[in-house]
Amino acid sequence: MAGLVTTFGAGAMTNSIGEIRDADFLFVIGSNTSEAHPIIAMEMKRAVHRGATMVVADPRAVWMTTLAQKHLQLRPGTDVWLLNAMAHVIIEEGLVDEAFIREHTENFEAVREAVRKYTPEEAEKVTDISAEDIRWVAHRYATTERAGIYYTLGITEHSHGTDNVYCLANLVLMTGHLGKRSAGMNPLRGQNNVQGANDAGATPIFLPGYQRVDDEEVRRKYEESWGVALPPEPGMNLNVMMKAVGKSIRGMYVMGEDILLSEPNVSKLEEGMNNVDFLVIQEPFLNETARYADVVFPSAVFAEKDGTFTNSERRVQLVRKAVEPPGEARADWEILVSLANACGASWDYPNSASVYDELAKDAPRFAGISHERIEESAEGPKSGLQWPCPDPNHSGTEFLHEGGVLRGKGLFSAVEYRPSEELPDQEYALLLSTGRTLYHYNAATQTRRESGLVAKQSDPFVEIHPKDAGKRGIASGDLVEVCTRRGKVHARAILSRQVRRGCLWMPLHFHEARANLLTNDAGDPITQTAEYKVCAAEVRSVEKDGAEQRYPGSYYAMNGPGPGAGGERRS
Ligand SMILES: Nc1nc2c(c(=O)[nH]1)N[C@H]1C(S)=C(S)[C@@H](COP(=O)(O)OP(=O)(O)OC[C@H]3O[C@@H](n4cnc5c(=O)[nH]c(N)nc54)[C@H](O)[C@@H]3O)O[C@H]1N2
Ligand SMILES: Nc1nc2c(c(=O)[nH]1)N[C@H]1C(S)=C(S)[C@@H](COP(=O)(O)OP(=O)(O)OC[C@H]3O[C@@H](n4cnc5c(=O)[nH]c(N)nc54)[C@H](O)[C@@H]3O)O[C@H]1N2
Ligand SMILES: [Mo]
């Protein structure tokens, strides 16, 4: 998210979800929106039915491509070529918003210079998208007033993820598609409260409210407020931490993350975990990581506690307890307060509302938000308050950057294409990409305990193009071994034209076939986000057990067909 942090102030949608239906052009890139963000996908669908143009740039024929005017089925990891070529066209055809560039941005000349050589014709060779399509999309994007970009992990989970985000930001800035309703740059956030966790300072560089730890003044404010001394250096980010596990990191406190399922190249992490002296996990379930735990603090789940969740559109909403937590489980904040006090602190928070007040007290963006105010807002047409909300009389902010760009001037960043770290070769001839499905949620500790979801999708699977399967004697339903330089797993083969030829696709959800035994832990140089979306792999059949009956086209049956696949379309 660094591109957004530097360019737009924080990694959050610049628009609100309700604005999507009024957009006239939607550029959906690297986002399986209907499976991973179904509510947002519904708004997109509404826009398309109203007459908006949608373009989906995705190597996989995800369901959204059936709605789109154009599906740019690019080679994985080649987005910089696609996006720089779009910038090339916009500049060449004189479609830039010169007034916006002059008044609100810096460094445009560097981008103009850098994209000169990214012609659509050259881009076609790298991306496999025709020059004609690139010109068409660039033209439509630039000339439509209400044009929004929507992106997620197909953009960020690469060793050049930040570059991808910069390229998108360049398009937004050169067309001035910002600071207006339904026009902007929208990273759709992942976990239900990942936005809130970031807002609260669960990042290595920010204190609450995106106030930098390396800003002397900010630090002094918090040192006074909290009565502690704060180190001036940013902390380690996730991928860097994982590489230090068992080395410089000897003790860990893992809260709500199943690192042994979700981190890349996980067998290397397991080696490190063997050398950790003490591991605490704070968890509702005994997940994969629990195998290594010395202590488990049982925590309540969302329905068993009060608090707030902040969604992708920066809306802070109240969550209220519906049922009591079972056994000894307690709300996460209660566990943390007890732990702090056991360590000698004297924290006194009678309820979760007072925890929010503590957060809002020194963070100007949230200063006007409290549980009480959110409760009042619930009586209006919309529940919750959208930050920035600087004082108790402020009604919140629907979209960002109105009348300018938050950081003062939007910064253009010239980006050169760098290929993915590990591409197919003779030994590992296929490209493996990973992600999620509609029916399971990340580590699937909850969704695989739900019989309906398990009935829909019970076993690990890998999608393979029929041509690649044929070459290897693989039939639908075969148990296959998928291997990379880092590990191997067994899964059922699904022959599917949803994937490009030469590509495999697997979900990350299944602990018995962890996709992350296979993935590459190479990180983006700025964010260290791992290259979950591209690595070199091979596949071979290990067992033909007649499961064919259950598997032919089953992914389509579950998730709607790809274009031209026939069958019933999900709506
Ligand atoms: N049902 C369900 N919903 C979820 C989750 C879940 O586990 N299950 N998880 C949540 C979380 S934590 C997150 S972060 C979000 C993630 O939401 P998404 O990012 O939409 O989920 P992914 O499955 O990772 O899909 C990324 C898309 O990028 C495409 N892609 C892969 N490589 C490239 C590339 O090189 N270029 C381009 N342009 N596209 C590429 C993939 O084909 C895929 O369609 O979903 C959230 N929602
Ligand atoms: N190969 C591959 N790997 C990936 C990805 C990918 O696309 N491909 N995507 C990555 C992404 S975007 C993400 S976000 C991660 C997600 O990976 P994780 O964060 O590891 O997975 P989650 O299932 O979201 O949640 C982790 C744990 O939180 C627990 N939990 C649920 N509710 C609560 C609660 O209220 N309190 C506490 N304390 N715990 C709770 C769950 O039981 C679960 O064990 O995976 C990453 N890994
Ligand atoms: Mo995520």
Domains and CATH numbers, the chain: 3-189+407-411 (3.40.228.10), 194-386 (3.40.50.740), 430-559 (2.40.40.20)
Residue from 508, 524, 533 to probe ligand 2 pocket by mutation (most atoms less than 8 Å from CB): 508
Q: Across the strands, what pairs with 105?
A: 410
Supply the pLDDT for residue 11: 60
435 lines ligand 2 (CB under 6 A): yes
Amino acid residing at 334: E
What is the residue type of 518? L
Single-letter residue type at 250:
R
Sequence-separated (6 or more) residues with CB below 8 Å from residue 192: 302, 309, 311
Q: At what angle do helices 120-127 and 79-92 cross, to 10 degrees?
A: 170
Ligand that lies nearest to the alpha carbon of residue 158, given by its number in the listed order: 1
User: Which helix (DSSP H) or strand (DSSP E) does residue 224 occupy?
Assistant: helix 216-226
Does the C-beta of 435 come closer than 6 Å to ligand 1? yes
Tens-place pLDDT, residues 368-399: 999 999 988 776 666 899 999 999 998 888 77
Q: Rounded distance, CA 308 to CA 384, Å? A: 9
Q: How far is CA 88 from CA 74, 94, 116, 138, 514, in A?
A: 18, 10, 6, 9, 41
Q: Whose CA is nearest to atom 17 of ligand 2?
A: 262
Instruction: Confirm or reject: Cβ of 516 under 6 Å from ligand 2.
Output: yes
H helices present in 214-301, as ranges: 216-226, 238-244, 259-262, 266-273
pLDDT score at 409: 85
Pairing label, strands 105-106, 410-411: parallel
Q: Is the CB of 170 under 6 A from ligand 1?
A: no
Cβ(489)–Cβ(482) below 8 Å: yes
The beta strands (E) that lie in 402-444 are given as 410-411, 430-435
Q: Which ligand is nearest to the CA of 446?
A: 2
Give the three-class secondary structure for 287. Answer: coil
Any ligand 2 atom below 6 A from CB of 262: yes
Q: Is the CB of 159 under 6 A from ligand 2?
A: no
d(CA 117, CA 99): 25
In angstroms, rounded to a whole number, what is the distance separating the alpha carbons of residues 22 and 45? Answer: 11
Distance CA 305, CA 319 (A): 8
Q: Cα separation of 265 and 487, whole Å?
A: 8
> What DSSP designation does 296 have?
E
Cis, bond preceding 388 (omega within 30 deg of 0): yes
- Positions of the chain with pLDDT under 70: 1-11, 379-382, 400-407, 545-571
Are the beta carbons of 293 and 312 closer than 8 angstroms? Answer: no
Q: How far is the CA of 204 from the centre of ligand 3 (A)?
A: 17
* Spatial distance between the Cα atoms of 544 and 222, rounded to a whole number of angstroms: 62
In total, the chain counts a number of residues equal to 571
What's the gap in Å between 191 CA and the centre of ligand 3?
Answer: 5
Beta carbons within 10 angstroms of residue 18's beta carbon? 13
Helix, strand or coil, per DSSP, at residue 491:
strand
CB atoms within 10 A of CB 482: 25
Cβ(239) to ligand 2 under 6 A? Answer: no
Which residues make beta-bridge pairs with 183?
A: 180
Q: Is 128 helix (H, G, I), strand (E, B) or coil?
A: coil
Q: In Å, what is the CA distance from 442 to each residue of 158, 159, 522?
A: 18, 21, 21
